Chains A and B, each alone.
Chain A
């Protein structure tokens, strides 16, 4: 065809060379890009490919159990069926709406709520729990839907279960859904969007220990999400087990007794005066932590009594404070215990008249009878003799106004009342204030836990133990278990004679005084009643005590019982304390305890007499 190009072809070859050069330069660009993608950015693309091909099916670790001191389970996990939704390829709005519409009748839920959960799941790209603890007939309906809709699945899950329901609820706490703030913090720690976390008490404090480490099955899946093979089967690691110092039976006895008390509101703290171990920590009204696990009940969360009266409630100690007044006046040598006074039923301090709770008067009183009968006039006079400063010093010595450092959030410190505290606020102190202070009225405020610690110190003659409730934490695997050691908050240094007198006086309270209610043959109980007036309503009833079996020397148990708005200490709080003591020492509750026949003690039960102790001479100087 064309003539052979000889001379004229050189420029054309040059042009071909230009194109060829361009071509292999482009090839070099491709090679550079390959280097960038395959070598420089290899790691991130490899991760992306791994994310593509693998899917995890979580195997939730069972949450650690909580045991009481005898090994009885207080919180455990149970198997239950849950309906979950895992967002898949098909997650458009129309599909979700159809799914939500079909699920609504089976779950007896709200269409909007279900749809919202589904959408949230798609947004977070994380599986979500639509319902849990499903009854069998619902499960059958749902397994039909499972064949129609992709993404929904029925799984067996461990569900938290508290065998004793409301018992110890304030201490155990409960599990609840995460709110948006929790989720932001916890999603980095491997929590799923629908995970339950501890919301109160032990469940919250020990969330990280109880939770354990989730396991799972790592599978290879194809683009349609079909399983190709199992790559790895990672076992879960169970959560740590908590062993508490709590005595479950005692705890329940205390709660039952509080529920049966006149107002059905109150707190009881029982501890071991030898170490500070808490044997019972009851607060009533309480709630059933099991119900928090039902999704539908989340609406009435707000109304639940999460407030722990034992550690967060502060009250005037009333006559139980006379223990501290006695310690101050005896130990400082200001008062001879044999010095007697005459109680006409009132005492005039300056222009003001302070009444004794016994309108008729206690007649002749000295220390032991004064304490046993809780004679207010005796303590008015001896309090003035001792002086407010000294009483305040002893308040501090016994740890009032400071936290007991129990490992629960929100503990209250209470309030110390005295000349120094007054002066700090720029106010002056009068004899009338000393009268109020001597009988535990006025501005002094304590928590039931603080009173229990004080009773512990009286029982063991001086040691204020830091109260604790976790005996040991049992970790899975090789990690050594944690053991709580008793810890001293401080010591109260009193002369041995003072301790002996206090012990004798408190014993008399139960034997022949206001606490006669509680007397039990075979037990050596030292106690003190208290009736603290309360500007917000009915008087708060107190009973504090420590006890041991007849024959043994060392007190084994110290307790403080508060019945809110319960009325008189001996009538309202006494029976609660008695039931706790009987439960602890194993005394049969059949026959009524022998009543003390002494008139002064019997008078305590009389309504007219009650009114008097309820209404001391001076109205409280300050409201709580």
Chain B
């Protein structure tokens, strides 16, 4: 279906072999696993949660992530697997409650279903995978017909949870801004304590006050909105404190590198800078395949995994990079088409989830290479080197093919 499997790895034959083996393994799993999993996905759920606990317990420390699982000679990233499982589980769950998808209880239950896996990944810590998870969940709930206001609450909650730690980090790097009273107040909320409680109470009081003002001004807004808004804010604040405590120094510096690259040109900003130089120096037509100086002379870090798009940009230029983006959009479009043609709601939702997964990976990875997004350890599916990612991607595509083929009557 897609022949993007160009391993632009630094010529290491063993890596190529391993990649090909993974591809073969992936293709084998497509047929078998896909059919099985599509038939009854729920038993996998327990397996996934179990796998993550194992990953945390005996996980191999690789790149600062405790996300690699070692089985004999083979290391494996369970996070990638979790994506597929989450899609299947959530699709199945929402399919069964098709008529009540817009109600609050279903929405909350769906959240409760996803939360343990998301928390486990966050604990690893893998902020970017959590973000992918979040995007996928939102997309699937949206496509399943969940209430937009519920989704807005969830998005708001997520924004506060992830946004506040980023804000705090930036404030700590910019003391001149932190000196202002508002910033000082915000910066003081990083740790649980009396001040935090006061802030939460303040949120509720402010909401109540605003409601009174609206009522007096005869602006007809239902009180439930104020309560919801303050609840979301307070919950977001609480989880932001947790996320902030969990955040590692390197993660913070990535945000800083994104906003103020001059602060640390040798550290976190180095990677993005070199990626930008690689892509920018490619020009319209590129330097020619295997002719990239940034990638082949070692200036571009992680060139065969996370920053592979920069290699494409450097060696194949603007046309090549646009071509890759277009091919991805084509791929996503095919997945979306499969969703449209799906015979049942389950297939539809699974395809939506997988499309969202691809889209999230594409946007985050390419955005990172182009300096639009903080550095995140997310591979570009089908292009980056990595067995786990390839197996999971092919698995996902297999499921899509499965859904697509079932729309014909003879299966």
Contacts and interface: CB of A to CB of B under 8 A. Distances in A.
Interface residues of A, number: 43
A161 B142 CA distance: 83
A48 interface: yes
A222 to B, nearest CB: 4
Interface stretch (A30-38, A294-302, A320-328, A422-430): A30-38
A16 B339 contact: yes
A228 B296 CA distance: 11
B297 A27 contact: no
B346 A42 contact: no
Interface stretch (A2-10, A260-268, A483-491, A589-597): A2-10
B173 interface: no
Interface residues of B, number: 53
A322 to B, nearest CB: 76
Interface in A22-63: 23-24, 26-27, 29-31, 33-35, 37-39, 41-42, 44-46, 48-50, 52-53
Contacts of B53: none
A18 B336 CA distance: 11
Contact of A223 (B277, B299, B352, B363): B299
Nearest to B343: A4
Given A39-B318, A223-B299, A2 B95 contact: yes
Interface in B226-266: none
A38 B336 contact: no
Interface in B259-283: 274, 276-283
B145 interface: yes
B346 A2 contact: yes
B344 A12 contact: no
Interface string B321-360: 1100110110011001001100111101000100110010
B16 to A, nearest CB: 22
Nearest to A47: B281
B340 A13 contact: yes
Nearest to A5: B345
Contacts of B143: 12, 15-16, 19
A44 B370 contact: no
A45 B281 contact: yes
B139 interface: yes
A350 interface: no
A18 B344 CA distance: 20
Nearest to B314: A49
B348 A53 contact: no
Contact of B277 (A30, A52, A222, A228): A52
B359 A23 contact: yes
B261 to A, nearest CB: 13
B299 A41 contact: no
A52 B329 CA distance: 33
B279 A23 contact: no
A49 B293 contact: yes
Given A1-B95, A45-B276, A38 B352 contact: no
B298 interface: yes
Contacts of A139: none
B352 A34 contact: no
A2 B280 contact: no
B305 interface: no
Contacts of B389: none
A49 B277 contact: yes
A11 interface: yes
A407 B296 CA distance: 56
A2 B370 contact: no
B336 A16 contact: yes
A191 B352 CA distance: 63
11 contacts: A3-B344, A16-B352, A19-B355, A27-B328, A34-B313, A34-B322, A38-B279, A45-B279, A53-B297, A220-B293, A220-B297
Given A16-B339, A23-B355, A35-B318, 6 more contacts: A19-B139, A38-B317, A39-B284, A52-B277, A223-B298, A224-B298
Interface of A: 1-5, 9, 11-13, 15-16, 18-20, 23-24, 26-27, 29-31, 33-35, 37-39, 41-42, 44-46, 48-50, 52-53, 220-224, 228
Interface of B: 92, 95-96, 98, 139, 142-145, 274, 276-284, 293-294, 297-299, 313, 317-318, 321-322, 325-326, 328-329, 332-333, 336, 339-340, 343-346, 348, 352, 355-356, 359, 362-363, 366-367, 370, 372
